[in-house]
Structure 1
Amino acid sequence: MTALFRLIQIITIVLRYRLHGLLPERQLPWGARLLLRLLNLLPDTPLSRGERLRRCLEELGPVFVKFGQLLSTRPDLVPADIVSELDHLQDNVTPFDNQECRQIIESSLGQSIEQVFTHFESEPLASASVAQVHAARLNLPQGEKEVVVKVVRPGIEGTIEQDIALMYLLARLVRRFTSDGQRLKPVEVVQEYEHTIFDELNLQREAANASQLRRNFAGSPLLYVPEVYWDYTRRNVMVMERIYGVPVTDMEALAAQDTNMKALAERGVEIFFTQVFDHNFFHADMHPGNIFVSHQHPQQPQYIAVDMAIVGSLTQADQYYMARNLIAIFRRDYRLVAELHIQSGWIAPETPVSEFEGAIRTVCEPIFEKPLKEISFGQIVITLFQTARRFNMEVQPQLVLLQKTLLNIEGLGRQLYPDLDLWQTAHPFLERWLKERFHPRSLMQQLRRYGPELLEQAPQMPHKLSDALDQIKQISDMAPDLHSAAETLNESRQRSGRARRRWLVGLLAGGGALITALPAAGIELDQIPSQSWLLAAIAVWAWLTR
């Protein structure tokens, strides 16, 4: 199926569930508002808006389900009735056929279910967008072990490939036709997401991530990661130790075992910063369905993490600039924050430092030293976006996973302990990390690690420097021609944009006149076949891509 037909399918599903009614009409351009009012003439559905959105995301597939999972952790941004429905996306997606599941396991392991397991539960413990999990008892020489068996949904790769192709197409349209297209780097963001989601389909990669995370927190009172049984793990099947814990959002169960909620929230923050800065290897899919709390030591609670399919890491430069930025914000040194953004290349070097400093102060000062419950992160995100747009700040694709994880952590913290002082918890950790980073012992470790490579490359440095200077001269000679070509291309795009606006006005006006005239001709809107709406979608597509 091509991206065009996938787009038509998405439009059809969205219209079927009447999701256009959830759009903020007042914030849309006038042309989109007119189109929205025409769509509102379609027959309504008895389902609630939350159920409509959930069913639509489930029908659209795993890429959209994961988007719904992220929304379900943001009760400050999403109405409660919608969050309640989206919670079902965490691990209650409709499972696939049990017989097909057994065939996948037996084919991958090369043995029958009865040979590998002394017991295998046909009904899944959980069913998510990409895979489902079954409880079992593994037959080992040293005895039985309680395990879970994770199996990738059959045929899922084809669906994801279609959605990724469509996302690339939409990203290119955004980059080409919007004023923020270059700054937002939509194509690069889609590339980053493509690598992430296809990695999630490879359970051997997830198993490797789990093993690394388990080593990082071996013996730690903060986080426990279950053991992977590598002899029974393949690309589409993984066998892992079964854990027992309280779902992190089950507030009643946590209260019943007398969990110290303040310590639980603070340890969550400590785990996040330890992963990002000490280990540079962080669990990047920390939605509530993947996080549990141990029954042991409730006054010193320990987290249990599952589903390590998506992990992230930063370059040393990004790691350094992130830590320096956060510490500067904690110290209210907004001048340093502005300078660090310029040094890191996140904004243009010609940006006026004083103006950018004032903009950052405006965003950060009102939230400083407030508990989590008094901070509207939704409003902060909007304000930061406006600030980024004003100063032409580019999206950093390599930080997208970190930003997603931060949203999950903040949403989790808000549910667990709204009085958490995020600043007081995180500040000492980052101060310690920076001191250790520049400690002579750390510098010597870095020198021992990278010294041989530097010595190996040293004799070649004069030749590389000479080649670099020659390339710079060639680029300088080409600059006038490139500038002239860019001006010609810009003029062409402006003419094309004016033509498209005229086409849009004509299309909307014609569609409005047609819909208005239909009732007078004795034709009701619900009598129009869905193919007609698809043809209308194709017309809009043709206008966008002509």
Structure 2
Amino acid sequence: MERAERPDLPSVTTTAALLRLGRILSTVSAGTTRHLVRHAWRRLGGRPTTAADWPEELSRIVERLGPAFIKFAQIASTREDVLPPRACAALRRLHDNVEPMRPQDVHQALTEHLGPERAKSLTDFHPEPLGSGSIACVYPARLSDGTQVAVKLRRPGLTDTVRRDVAILSTVFALAGRLPGLRGAPLADMAHAVGASVLRQLDLDAEARNLALLRDDLSTLEFIAVPAPVTELCGESCVVMDFVPGVRDHVEVAELSTERRRVLADQTLRAVFEMLFCTGLVHCDLHPGNLRLTRTGSVVVLDAGFVYRVPEVVRENLALFFLNLGFRNGPRCAEAVLASAEQVDRHSDTAAFTADMTRLVDRYGGTTARDFDLIAFSTELFASQRRNGIYASSEFVFPLLALLMVEQTVRRLDPDVDFQAIARPIVFRAASGRPAGERRRRLETAG
């Protein structure tokens, strides 16, 4: 099978990595010490000794460690089935509420990107951010014609630190994948995918192009909005885009009616499945900070920094897998995995793998979001592949990340949503060769 091009993670010198690792350990140690001192001080003062503030301290430690660690924490914050809910709640702050840039740095970054004259094309620019992430901060402004826009500016001086941290984290996750309880889980590939995504997010010009493509691909979904980039003002360190009304509202799921939650769960899954099965351009970072619910009842997709083009052969086999999962056809699911595997040879036990898949699909096929445990399913799938000498395509990690990130959001909206039933017509359309999004609309109109 021809492998899709995938960006290599950077190599760093041993000395630089060790120095950075020392700073990381120092930061963790300092944060832990502060937490223990606060805990002891409460005890001396006769106050309750519960360690209720440890999730907040964890969030502060991760924030000080920098963008690569924050990205992994963002993923972890979506997994209340893995981490305590209090820890997930504390880490969610890191989606869009990291310490912002200083105002003087904001104006310097904007001037360096646009130049003194072009910067005048933005009026009513406010240095108070709409959101502040680990890579960049977003600010409100207007174009000279009065159009309201959002300006995303990259933080200065990130590149070297991010490269070192990605190399360190990739090594840690590769070692963790050898532990007994984690064998079979694709931790090394997932670390590679996330690490490469953090590096790609440094290029905001690429993000602007991804936004335009996603907006085109998802334009036929009624309740999904993607901001359009103002191409002539975008560059490597800045994205200027439409300001989507209602995006600043932090709407809690509980505030929405049951019917609205069901519609949003349906539309969110349709957006993900359109990307996975039809367009191949997959947003792999749909955590709650990038998937906003608005009071008007729509879903806004933001931050296209971690977008991956899934190869056609992977999309075809992924569609075949999902279709047969819904029909509880384990042998055909096994065929889809085997067809996409990087290596199946005379040492591979395909019969044992097919038997494992049949049992797994019988257990999970046709279930709703309430009963489907994606982490458990994926871990068993990869463990069987490893046990039976079948080496999975690393490109499957990217669709898995997209589903992992959105799963908990969908569960909160509608735990009874049947995501396999939602996938089925999209899979059929993909199999028939019909394109998605605005391209499909143009072709149908032309026909």
TM-score class, shorter-chain normalisation, is 0.7 to 0.9
| Partner Cα distance (1:319, 1:418) in 2 | 26
Aligned to 1:77: 82
- Select which of 71, 84, 87 maps to 1:66: 71
Residue in structure 2 matched with residue 9 of structure 1 by the alignment: 23
Structure 2: gaps spanning 5 or more residues: 1-14, 36-48, 436-447
- Tell me, yes or no, if structure 1 residue 311 matches structure 2 residue 307: yes
Q: Distance in 2 between matches of 1:173 and 1:83?
A: 24
Q: Give the Å deviation of 1:64.
A: 0.8
Which residue of 1 is the match for residue 235 of structure 2?
234
Q: Which residue of 2 aligns with 1:330?
A: 326
Q: CA deviation at 1:205?
A: 0.7
Provide the secondary structure at the position in 2 that maps to 1:148. Answer: strand
For the pair 1:403 / 2:400, whether they are aligned, the reply is: yes
- 1:73-472, aligned counterparts within 5 Å? 73-111=78-116, 115-139=120-144, 143-167=145-169, 170=172, 192-218=193-219, 220-245=221-246, 250-255=252-257, 260-296=260-296, 298=297, 302-346=298-342, 348-350=344-346, 351-436=348-433
> Structure 1 residues 341, 113: closer, same or farther in 2, change over 3 A?
closer
CA contact (8 A) 2:341 2:393 kept: no
Aligned-pair identity (%): 26
Question: Does structure 2 retain, via aligned residues, the 8 Å contact 1:184–1:394?
Answer: no
- State the alpha-carbon separation in 2 of the partners of residues 283 and 437 from structure 1: 21
State the alpha-carbon separation in 2 of the partners of residues 213 and 376 from structure 1: 28
Q: Higher RCO, 1 or 2 (CA under 8 Å, sep at least 6)?
A: 2
Distance 1:72 1:190, change over 3 A: closer
Structure 2 Cα separation of the partners of residues 367 and 182 of structure 1: 21
Distance in 1 between residues matched to 2:250 and 2:272, nearest whole Å? 15
How far, CA to CA, are the matches of 1:364 and 1:293 in structure 2? 33
Amino acid paired to 2:151: V
User: Per the alignment, do residues 9 and 90 of structure 1 end up closer, same or farther by CA in structure 2, a change over 3 Å counting?
Assistant: same
**Counterparts in 2 of 1:264 and 1:137: CA distance versus 1, 3 Å:** same
Q: Deviations 1:226-282 (Å, cap 9, x if unpaired)?
A: 121122222112211111226676224434xx8621121111111111122221112
Task: Give per-residue Cα distances to partners, 1:136-168, cap 9 Å, x unaligned.
Answer: 1221xxx21111111101111121022123245
Cα distance change, pair 311–172 in 1 and its aligned pair in 2 (3 A): closer
Q: Is the Cα contact below 8 Å between 2:344 and 2:389 reproduced in 1?
A: yes
Task: Report deviation, 1:115.
Answer: 2.3
> How many Å apart are 1:383 and its aligned residue?
3.0
Distance change in 2, residues 1:68/1:249 (3 Å): farther
- 1:303–1:339 CA distance, 2 compared to 1 (3 A): same
Question: Does the aligned pair in 2 maintain the 1:335–1:354 contact within 8 Å?
Answer: no
Q: Matched residues in 1 for 2:107 and 2:139: separation?
A: 10
1:53 to 31, 35, 58: 58
Task: Measure how far apart 1:60 and its partner are.
Answer: 1.1
Q: 1:215 to 1:379 in 2, by over 3 A?
A: closer
Whether the aligned pair in 2 keeps the contact of 1:180 and 1:389 (CA below 8 Å) is: no
Provide the C-alpha distance between the structure 1 equivalents of 2:183 and 2:367, rounded to a whole number of angstroms.
35
Q: For 1:171 and 1:262, how far apart are their aligned partners in 2?
A: 36
Shift of 1:204: 0.9
| 1:8-63 CA-partner distances (Å, limit 9, x unpaired) | 222233334449x9xxxxxxxxxxxxxxxxxxxxxx99663312321221111111
Instruction: Describe the SS at the equivalent of 1:2.
Output: helix
- Distance (whole Å) between structure 1 residues aligned to residue 125 and residue 299 of structure 2: 27
For the 8 Å contact 1:222–1:271, the answer to whether it is kept is no
From the superposition, tell whether residues 371 and 45 of structure 1 become closer, same or farther in structure 2 (CA, over 3 Å): closer
Q: Which amino acid aligns with 1:239?
A: V
**DSSP-derived class of the 1:288 partner:** coil
Structure 1, unmatched stretches of 5+, are: 22-43, 439-546
Aligned to 2:377, the other structure's residue is in SS state: helix
Taking a change above 3 Å as real, the CA distance of residues 168 and 418 of structure 1, as seen in their structure-2 partners, is: closer
Distance across 2 between alignment mates of 1:280 and 1:290 = 19
CA contact (8 A) 2:208 2:229 kept: yes
Residues 485-524 of structure 1: pairs in structure 2 closer than 5 A: none
Question: Distance in 2 between the 1:267 and 1:167 partners?
Answer: 34
Q: In structure 2, what residue type is equivalent to 1:328? A: N
**Cα pair 2:349 2:389 within 8 Å, conserved:** no
Paired residues of 1:61 and 1:129 also in contact (CA < 8 A): yes
Distance 1:266 1:244 in 2: 22
Does the 8 A contact of 2:338 with 2:390 survive in 1?
Answer: no
In structure 2, give the amino acid aligned to 1:238: V
2:63 and 2:427 map into 1 onto residues whose CA distance is: 40
1:174-224 deviations in Å (ceiling 9; x for gaps): 79x989999888776665445422221111111111111222234542422
Q: Deviations over 1:426-459 (max 9, x none)?
A: 1232133223479xxxxxxxxxxxxxxxxxxxxx
Change (3 A) 1:237 1:361: same
* Alignment partners' CA distance in 1, 2:80 and 2:173: 28
After superposition, the Cα gap between the structure-2 partners of 1:52 and 1:363, relative to the gap in structure 1 and judged at 3 Å, is farther
CA distance in 2, matches of 1:331, 1:18: 50
Structure 2 vs 1, CA of residues 199 and 274 (structure 1 numbering), >3 Å: closer, same or farther? same
SS of the residue corresponding to residue 286 of structure 1 reads coil
| Counterpart contact for 2:59–2:90, Cα < 8 Å | yes
Could you tell me which residue of structure 2 aligns to residue 446 of structure 1? none
Matched residue, 2:43:
none
State whether residues 335 and 353 of structure 1, in contact with CA within 8 Å, keep that contact through their aligned partners in structure 2.
no
**Retained in 2: the 8 A contact 1:192–1:397?**
no
SS at match of 1:418: coil
How large is the Cα RMSD of the aligned pairs? Answer: 3.2
Amino acid of the structure 1 residue aligned with 2:242? E
**Aligned counterparts of 2:411 and 2:362: Cα–Cα separation in 1:** 20
2:256 partner SS: helix
Q: Quick check: 1:249–1:288 contact (8 Å CA) kept in 2?
A: no
The AA in structure 1 aligned to 2:22 is I
